[in-house]
Amino acid sequence: MSNGQWYPPEWPDRIRALASGELTPVAPKRAATVMLLRDTPDGGPAVHMLRRRASMAFAGGAYAYPGGGVDPRDDRPVRWAGPSLESWAARLGVDDTASAQAIVCAAVRETYEEAGVLLAGRTPDTVVGAVGTADADAADADAAGTGDDGEGWEADRQALVDRELSFAEFLDRRGLVLRSDLLGAWARWITPEFEPRRYDTWFFVAALPQGQQARNVSTEADHTVWIRPVDAAAGYDKGELLMMPPTISTLRALTAFPTAGTALAAAGKQDLTPVIARAALVKGEIVLSWPGHEEFTKRIEPAAPGRPAEDEEGR
């Protein structure tokens, strides 16, 4: 492997099984992920990334952004600020406003669950400060006039992770408005048909709210980092950072922007046509490609006589 492209060794066998009809594709689950940016003094914004634990069944050891699957309760009514649900449905390419809200809510909820960053405010034009800290708990207690914040921010975040609390219930409990205007839809990628775990994932971009800090609170990550997209892409190119195609593709796109604000402003012009890998068998050789993203194309030669199939390599 000359770069850091994530390529599971079981893919060739699964691709052949799909081509022969022995493998039936599973339906992809909707998901959302957020490229959280903050400006740096040495040129260009940095993006918050986490490294998935090596033990994870899907993309173990790969660098990714905070994100995850849509919760069935993410379409429950919430206090909403920003573009209308109709506008979001059109932008995201979905047929109904409930789906649009669920995807946007998943993006905001997962960012809070996995990075401790919350894109919500007390009013439609404000954003909460340092959530999940003792200072934030004390501020809430003072605002309520109780001197006691009850379970606290961190307990509420953990309740979201454990699915004991829906995001709508969390926002209502805290008296918060979801700030959809702080997000910009950036890309959409769908896991290949031969994968056992498939996701239809919308990628969003957002700037780190003033007063908040990203934290390593994800149970799925063993390391987090703020890194400039150009540096992350260089690490991938050297084979030092393992990434899935959508991750490195979006990183390369972010290198063009000098600030988090300019990246967010450009989100509306990004193409949200779904990208899905295609696999073809040509005289026994597997050709795996992602339309419009030629750098990820892999050709896997058939195993030579006497050589086990697991020795096949992409090139």
C-alpha 174/C-alpha 123 separation (Å) is 12
Binned at pLDDT 50, 70 and 90, residue 132 comes out as low
CA 152 to chain centre: 26
Asked if residue 314 has pLDDT above 50, the reply is: no
- Taking only the tens place, the pLDDT of each residue in 67-82 is 999 999 999 999 999 9
Determine the pLDDT at residue 298.
87
Closest by CA position to 70, among listed 197, 201, 162, 198: 201
- Taking only the tens place, the pLDDT of each residue in 31-58 is 999 999 999 987 789 999 999 876 666 6
Asked if residue 306 has pLDDT above 50, the reply is: no
Distances (CA, A) of 311 to 17, 186, 193: 18, 37, 23
Determine the pLDDT at residue 231.
95
Asked if residue 142 has pLDDT above 70, the reply is: no
Q: What is the mean pLDDT of residues 126-146?
A: 53
| Domain range annotation of the chain | 26-274
Determine the pLDDT at residue 56.
62
To the question of domain 26-274 being in CATH 3.40.50.12160, the answer is no
Determine the pLDDT at residue 54.
66
> Which residues in 73-113 belong to E strands, given as ranges?
80-81
Question: What pTM value is reported for the model?
Answer: 0.88
Three-state DSSP class for residue 254:
helix
Q: What is the mean pLDDT of the chain?
A: 87
DSSP annotation of 211 reads: T
Asked if residue 248 has pLDDT above 70, the reply is: yes
Q: Would the CA dihedral through 201, 205, 211, 215 be positive or negative?
A: positive
